[in-house]
């Protein structure tokens, strides 16, 4: 009796599993357009112009019939909200837009300056969009033009960006900002966050520098070398930086290129008004190239490289700080540090009014050259003939 | 009701772990409406009374050799009070089971099946759960034992990965104590409800083999739960910061989303995680329904067990369809009710029963086969 009941149960359950396949959410892969990149520009008539990058499966090549030249298509429409624009795009595509595989959201400079908040709201509310999508601000050209540009290296622009930030050795390049990182940073006490900046050059896609946001508005930009310094000010270790300096030796200019430059910061502050930050940087690097072949490198010359490096990094750090103080925006969690440590002191400083702008910095740099070449050793001194 | 005492210490560990950990994991740490930053600390502090409750349970098993909590209640409480207690246990379990299914449908509708109506999402779940309860405690415990290792492994790996990502920063965790003690304790009360699902363990004890360790597996299980809850809360806080973490519907889902995967197959690790976690919902829900049927049968031995499985499931099904989602305002009431049901009442009853029977006077434990 029980055995019969069990058999019936098993049959019933398998029917049930079949039933669950017919529910309303089921949609075949063929019916979906997988969107890998979104481009958000200011619309001509309506608020936003939204472009979507859809890969074409089967890809370029001659597989079966007509030869395809592109591996993706970009469609765009305008709308007063992102959702409206997406709905309008759905009207001009045969399939349903699917944002589950979205990798990159590119935002034009104009939108970043004027109307970013509703965009972020849409991105963070939609459960199909993963919180780790990459954000990118596009300057000089439209975001749509940017995601419509093919790179011979990686065919799909969205995948190019994804790979760019995934590459292990980010030699002095911009760091990625994921949606949740941006949202997190803009809810810290300084209400500031950064997003990498991309543009188009004759060579193709270029990602360099970081846009600085305060209260969801693009207020400034950190240039290439300032991005590296930014990392130090966040009290994070800096690795794999390339750096070039110029030295004077016996009236002659010698260019020195350093690689694998790394710095470890140590940040502290004193509770004075204005607040006094102490930033100690200890670092090292390798010499890879000299404009004058160094056969007999003297210790004195290496010392000079070290001193020049210390001087330049210090100036770079101070310049970056001044730049952000002029904009009255602080994207390095410095205010957060004070806020965590002593809330009353933070209040007393009036961080957003003048506390940050008046903050003083004492930067000290200690740099040593590790090696002067990798497979040849240049430090040795010849004795005799 | 014939009872075969066959379960070992590990079964008890698995059973207790599995009944407690499901819902909290998905929605922790910020679930009470009014939040303070250091919820991980709250979860540590509020677990202390539950360790006391576990000690009382072990004391109870020493005084009552048949481990039968509900029989002891029947023997020692006044008749009407016994039925009030049983009734309250049933109501409390129905409410928390409805909350579980409500949470399940919420998470499924947000992340997986956006268009499918709620009744359709829940119906197969209830039918399969009903079959699970029908097969009884042995099948349920086997399910828990198989699942517990996998569950712990998955949760610990998510937590460890969260701590070792670049995004995790201790500066977002600080300051540890950002309110006064009174506010902290007041806000902690609602978090006590996170551990309230220990109650079905009271019914499970009866199936424990004589001579097996009781306190150690229970303590170990609770320690594990506390580590997972607090570790998860810390990981979420350090990765997303307080202000952003507070807005997340399911922080652990967001956390699994932030974990880097290099392969396209695991592009959406979060959805994979939710899929896996639905199995955990089955286990929790089946245990709760089994518990209700068990105490009903205990109080009224003549009732038809299968009929009651259907009745309870139907009631919970209707209740969870009727309860709207995002009822944060009413959670405070639900949480207080859970504390009464899951901590205050069992603790008082355990104290009463252990005081009633002083050490060294065991009696009437003959009708249980061992």
Q: Is A101 near chain B, with CB under 8 Å?
A: yes
| Number of Cα atoms under 13 Å in the Cβ half of residue A246 | 3
**Neighbouring-strand partners of residue A278:** A268, A362
Q: Is B124 near chain A, with CB under 8 Å?
A: yes
Q: How far is A268 from chain B (nearest CA, A)?
A: 14
> In this structure, what DSSP letter does residue B252 have?
H
pLDDT at B368: 40
Contact A243, A237 (CB under 8 A): no
| Number of Cα atoms under 13 Å in the Cβ half of residue A55 | 21
Please tell me which of the candidates A131, A166, A188 has its beta carbon nearest to residue B254. A131
Would you write out chain B's pLDDT as a tens digit for each of its 370 residues?
A: 567 788 899 999 999 998 888 777 877 777 666 677 888 888 898 899 999 999 999 999 998 888 889 989 888 888 889 999 999 999 999 988 888 888 888 888 888 888 888 888 888 889 889 988 988 899 999 999 988 998 899 889 888 988 888 888 888 887 887 778 888 887 787 788 888 888 999 999 999 988 889 999 999 999 999 999 999 999 999 998 888 888 888 888 888 877 766 655 566 778 788 888 888 889 889 999 999 999 999 888 888 888 999 999 999 999 888 877 655 556 677 778 888 888 999 999 999 999 887 755 544 444 443 3
Question: A36-72 burial, b if ≥16 CB within 10 A, otherwise e?
Answer: bbbbbbbbeeebbbbbbbbbeeeeeeeeeeeeeeebb
Q: How far is A379 from chain B (nearest CA, A)?
A: 38
From CA A199, how far away is CA A246, in angstroms rounded? 29
Query: Do the strands A37-42 and A104-108 form a parallel or antiparallel pair, or are they unpaired?
Result: parallel
Assign residue B67 a region (left: φ > 0; alpha: ψ between -120 and 50; beta: otherwise).
Answer: left
**Contact state of A20 with B124 under an 8 Å Cβ cutoff:** yes
Contacts of A24 in chain B (CB under 8 A): 113, 115-117
SS3 category, B113: coil
Q: Exposed, middle or buried by CB within 10 Å (0-12, 13-18, 19+), for B332?
A: middle
pLDDT at A19: 65
Q: Is A16 near chain B, with CB under 8 Å?
A: yes
What residues of chain B, 173 to 232, have a C-beta less than 8 Å from chain A?
174-175
pLDDT at B301: 87
> In this structure, what DSSP letter does residue B9 have?
H
Contact A72, A155 (CB under 8 A): yes
CA B153-B155-B160 angle, to 5 degrees, is: 90
Q: Exposed, middle or buried by CB within 10 Å (0-12, 13-18, 19+), for A84?
A: middle
Q: Which residue has the tokens 């009696």?
A: B363
Write out pLDDT tens, residues A138-157: 988 888 888 888 777 777 77
Q: Is residue B336 part of a domain?
A: yes
A226: tokens are 């300032």
With CA atoms as reference, report the closest residue to B14 among B150, B134, B128.
B150
Contacts of B90 (CB under 8 A, 6+ apart): B292, B295, B296
Q: How far is CA A383 from CA A296, B235, B275, in A?
A: 11, 61, 73
Contacts of A44 (CB under 8 A, 6+ apart): A78
CA B22 to chain centre: 6
Q: How many CB atoms lie within 10 A of CB A96?
A: 10
pLDDT at A58: 63
From CA A350, how far away is CA A365, in angstroms rounded? 29
Q: Is residue B243 part of a domain?
A: yes
> In this structure, what DSSP letter does residue B34 have?
S
Q: Ranked by mean pLDDT, which of A3-7, A10-14, A318-322, B241-245 comes out on top?
A: A318-322
Contacts of A178 in chain B (CB under 8 A): 167, 258
Contacts of A184 in chain B (CB under 8 A): 172, 239-241, 243-244
From CA A345, how far away is CA A338, in angstroms rounded? 7
Contact B90, B296 (CB under 8 A): yes
- Say yes or no to pLDDT of A122 above 80: yes
CB pairs under 8 A between A and B: 69
Q: How many domains does chain B have?
A: 1
ipTM: 0.81
High-pLDDT (> 70) share of chain A, %? 87
Q: How far is B226 from chain A (nearest CA, A)?
A: 26
What residues of chain A, 306 to 345, have a C-beta less than 8 Å from chain B?
333, 336-337, 340, 343
Per the model's pLDDT, the better-predicted residue between A382 and A188 turns out to be A188
Considering only CA atoms, give the Rg of chain A.
27
Q: Is residue B338 part of a domain?
A: yes
pLDDT at A295: 46
> In this structure, what DSSP letter does residue A61 have?
B
SS3 category, A206: strand
From CA B130, how far away is CA B310, in angstroms rounded? 7
Task: Taking each helix axis as running N to C, give the angle between helix B215-247 and helix B9-27, from 0 to 180 degrees, rounded to the nearest 10.
Answer: 10
Write out pLDDT tens, residues A250-301: 777 888 888 888 899 998 888 888 889 999 999 998 888 777 765 455 677 7
From CA A332, how far away is CA A384, in angstroms rounded? 55
Q: Is residue B362 part of a domain?
A: no
Q: Check which CATH number belongs to the domain holding B33 and give it.
A: 1.20.1740.10
Write out pLDDT tens, residues A345-365: 888 888 888 888 888 999 999
Please tell me which of the candidates B243, B257, B262 has its beta carbon nearest to residue A132. B257
Q: Which residue has the tokens 């551990």?
A: B195
**Contact state of A25 with B113 under an 8 Å Cβ cutoff:** yes
Contact B293, B133 (CB under 8 A): yes
With CA atoms as reference, report the closest residue to B198 among B226, B237, B162, B227.
B226
Q: Is residue B364 part of a domain?
A: no
Q: Is residue B367 part of a domain?
A: no
pLDDT at A297: 57
B306-309 long-range Cβ contacts below 8 angstroms, 24+ apart: B306/B134, B309/B130, B309/B133, B309/B134
Q: Exposed, middle or buried by CB within 10 Å (0-12, 13-18, 19+), for B321?
A: middle
| Number of Cα atoms under 13 Å in the Cβ half of residue A280 | 4
Residue of chain B with shortest Cα separation from A163: B262
Write out pLDDT tens, residues A54-103: 887 765 444 444 555 677 888 889 988 888 999 998 888 888 888 888 88
Residue of chain A with shortest Cα separation from B260: A132
Q: Exposed, middle or buried by CB within 10 Å (0-12, 13-18, 19+), for B312?
A: buried
pTM: 0.86
Considering only CA atoms, give the Rg of chain B.
21
Q: Is A63 near chain B, with CB under 8 Å?
A: no
Residue A35's φ and ψ, nearest 5 degrees, are -95, 125
Contacts of B241 in chain A (CB under 8 A): 184-185, 187-188
Q: Is B241 near chain A, with CB under 8 Å?
A: yes
- Say yes or no to pLDDT of A168 above 70: no
Q: Is residue B368 part of a domain?
A: no
**Neighbouring-strand partners of residue A55:** A72
Residue of chain B with shortest Cα separation from A180: B240
From CA A196, how far away is CA A138, in angstroms rounded? 9
Q: Is A206 near chain B, with CB under 8 Å?
A: no
Q: Which domain holds residue B104?
A: 3-355
Q: Which residue has the tokens 């303590």?
A: B219
Q: Is residue B370 part of a domain?
A: no
Average pLDDT of chain A, as a whole number: 82
What residues of chain A, 121 to 160, have a C-beta less than 8 Å from chain B?
127, 130-132
């Amino acid at each position: 009796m029980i055995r019969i009941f069990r058999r019936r149960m098993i049959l019933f359950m398998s029917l049930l599993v079949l039933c669950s396949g017919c529910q309303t959410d089921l949609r075949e892969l063929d019916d979906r357009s997988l969107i890998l990149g979104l481009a958000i520009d200011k619309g001509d008539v309506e608020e936003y112009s939204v472009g979507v990058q859809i890969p074409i499966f089967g890809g370029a090549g001659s597989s079966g019939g007509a030869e395809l030249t592109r591996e993706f298509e970009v469609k765009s429409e305008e709308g007063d909200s992102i959702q409206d624009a997406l709905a309008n795009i759905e009207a001009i595509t045969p399939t349903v837009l699917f944002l589950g595989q979205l990798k990159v959201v590119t935002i034009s400079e104009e939108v970043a300056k004027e109307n970013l908040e509703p965009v972020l709201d849409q991105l963070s509310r939609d459960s199909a969009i993963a919180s780790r999508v990459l954000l990118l601000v596009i300057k000089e050209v439209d975001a749509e033009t940017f995601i419509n540009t093919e790179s011979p290296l990686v065919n799909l622009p969205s995948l190019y960006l994804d790979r760019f930030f995934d590459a292990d050795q980010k030699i002095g390049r911009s760091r990625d900002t994921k949606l949740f990182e941006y949202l997190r940073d803009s809810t810290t006490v300084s209400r500031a966050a950064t997003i990498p900046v991309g543009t188009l050059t004759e060579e193709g896609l270029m990602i360099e520098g970081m846009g600085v946001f305060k209260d969801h508005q693009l207020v400034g930009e950190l240039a290439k070398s300032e991005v590296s310094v930014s990392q130090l000010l966040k009290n994070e270790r800096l690795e794999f930086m390339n750096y070039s300096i110029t030295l004077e030796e016996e009236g002659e200019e010698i260019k020195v290129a350093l690689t694998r430059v790394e710095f470890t910061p140590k940040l502290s502050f004193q509770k004075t008004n204005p607040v006094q930050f102490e930033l100690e940087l200890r670092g090292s690097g390798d010499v890879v190239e000299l404009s004058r072949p160094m056969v007999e490198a003297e210790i004195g010359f290496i010392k000079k490289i070290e001193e020049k490096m210390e001087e330049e990094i210090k100036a770079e750090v101070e310049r970056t700080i001044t730049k952000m103080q002029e904009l009255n925006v602080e994207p390095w969690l410095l205010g957060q540090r004070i806020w965590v440590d002593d809330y009353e002191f933070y209040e007393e400083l009036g961080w957003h009014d003048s506390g940050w702008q008046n903050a003083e910095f004492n930067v000290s740099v200690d740099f040593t050259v590790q090696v002067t070449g990798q497979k040849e050793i240049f430090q040795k001194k010849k004795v005799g003939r | 009701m014939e009872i075969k005492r066959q379960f070992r210490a590990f079964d008890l560990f698995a059973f207790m772990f599995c009944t407690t950990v499901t819902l909290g994991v998905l929605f922790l740490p910020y679930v009470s409406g009014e939040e303070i930053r250091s919820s991980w600390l709250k979860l540590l502090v509020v677990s202390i009374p539950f360790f006391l409750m576990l000690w009382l349970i072990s004391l109870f098993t020493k005084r009552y050799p048949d481990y039968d909590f509900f029989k002891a209640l029947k023997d020692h409480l006044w008749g009407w009070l016994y039925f009030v207690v049983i009734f309250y246990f049933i109501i409390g379990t129905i409410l928390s089971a409805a909350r579980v299914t409500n949470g399940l449908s919420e998470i499924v509708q947000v992340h997986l099946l956006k268009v499918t109506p709620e009744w359709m999402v829940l119906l197969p779940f209830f039918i399969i759960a009903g079959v699970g309860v029908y097969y009884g405690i042995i099948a349920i415990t086997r399910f828990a034992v198989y699942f517990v290792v996998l569950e712990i492994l998955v949760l610990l790996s998510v937590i460890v990965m969260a701590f070792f990502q670049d995004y995790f920063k201790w500066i977002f965790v600080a300051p540890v104590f950002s309110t006064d003690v009174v506010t902290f304790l007041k806000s902690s009360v609602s978090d006590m409800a996170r551990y309230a699902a220990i109650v079905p363990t009271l019914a499970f004890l009866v199936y424990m083999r004589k001579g097996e360790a009781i306190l150690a597996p229970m303590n170990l299980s609770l320690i594990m739960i506390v580590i997972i809850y607090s570790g998860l809360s810390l990981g979420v806080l350090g990765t997303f910061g307080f202000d952003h973490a507070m807005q997340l519907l399911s922080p652990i889902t967001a956390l699994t989303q932030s974990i880097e995967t290099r392969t396209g197959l695991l592009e959406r690790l979060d959805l994979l995680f939710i899929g896996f976690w639905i199995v955990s919902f089955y286990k929790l829900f089946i245990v709760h329904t089994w518990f209700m049927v068990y105490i009903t049968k205990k109080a009224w031995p003549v009732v038809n067990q299968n009929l009651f499985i259907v009745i309870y499931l139907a009631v919970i099904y209707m209740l969870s369809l009727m309860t709207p989602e995002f009822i944060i305002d009413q959670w405070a009431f639900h949480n207080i009710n859970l504390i009464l049901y899951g901590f205050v009442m069992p603790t008082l009853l355990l104290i009463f029963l252990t005081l009633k029977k002083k050490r060294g006077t065991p009696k009437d434990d003959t009708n249980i086969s061992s």
